[in-house]
């Protein structure tokens, strides 16, 4: 029989308010808008270490720090194949396939290593960041790390990262 223990962490401060726009296959984009995102984390392991999967006191500041890094930023998918990001002295000029251009101060933008700024892609980004930070600080790796990103109440995306 295969077994696993899990922890689930969802604190009120696991949130960030960010703006974004989705880019679609046909070259269009949705209007720039924002969400008050909320994040939930579930991690599991096949065995307990000192009677715990992972200490809540260790995971909470990691998730909070990563959420805080996204807070009050315009999220731009730097890996999107048709978006052009021009680095100007203090601004990024973002040219979309529909020829719309945004010129935004660099301090207001976060270029994410993702293909688009869907809740699904943001969840995958968060999973990778949390995994890397947990391993760097504690040399620990969850068998599965599930991240849920809620962009509005009752509307969320879930990404599960499996241990290799």
Q: What domain range includes position 24? A: 5-73+115-162
- Please indicate, yes or no, if residue 106 is contained in any of the structural domains: no
- Please indicate, yes or no, if residue 105 is contained in any of the structural domains: no
- Please indicate, yes or no, if residue 141 is contained in any of the structural domains: yes
- Please indicate, yes or no, if residue 23 is contained in any of the structural domains: yes
Q: Note down pLDDT in tens along the chain; length 164 residues.
A: 566 899 999 999 999 999 999 999 998 999 999 999 999 999 999 888 889 999 999 999 999 999 999 999 999 999 999 999 999 999 999 999 999 999 999 999 999 999 999 999 999 999 999 999 999 999 999 999 999 999 999 999 999 999 88
Question: What's the number of domains the chain is made of?
Answer: 1
- Please indicate, yes or no, if residue 140 is contained in any of the structural domains: yes
Instruction: List CB contacts of 104: < 8 A, sequence separation 6 or more.
Output: 74, 91, 92, 94
130 φψ region: left (φ > 0), alpha (ψ -120 to 50), beta (else): alpha
- Please indicate, yes or no, if residue 96 is contained in any of the structural domains: no
Cα–Cα distance between 20 and 54 in angstroms, integer? 33
Q: Give the CATH number of the domain where residue 57 resides.
A: 3.30.479.10
């Amino acid at each position: 029989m295969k077994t696993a223990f899990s922890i689930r962490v969802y604190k009120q401060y696991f949130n960030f308010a960010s703006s974004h726009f989705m880019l679609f296959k046909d070259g269009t984009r949705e209007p720039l808008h924002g969400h008050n995102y909320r994040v939930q984390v579930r991690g599991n392991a096949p065995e307990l270490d000192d009677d715990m999967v992972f200490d809540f006191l260790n995971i909470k500041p990691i998730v909070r720090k990563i959420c805080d890094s996204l807070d009050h930023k315009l999220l731009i998918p730097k890996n999107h194949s048709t978006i052009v990001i021009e680095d100007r002295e203090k601004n990024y000029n973002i040219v979309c396939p529909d020829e719309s251009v945004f010129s935004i101060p660099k301090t207001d933008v976060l270029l994410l290593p993702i293909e688009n700024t869907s809740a699904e892609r943001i969840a995958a980004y968060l999973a990778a960041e949390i995994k890397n930070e947990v391993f760097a600080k504690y040399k620990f790796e969850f068998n599965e790390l599930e991240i849920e990103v809620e962009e509005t109440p009752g509307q969320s995306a879930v990404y599960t990262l499996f241990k290799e």
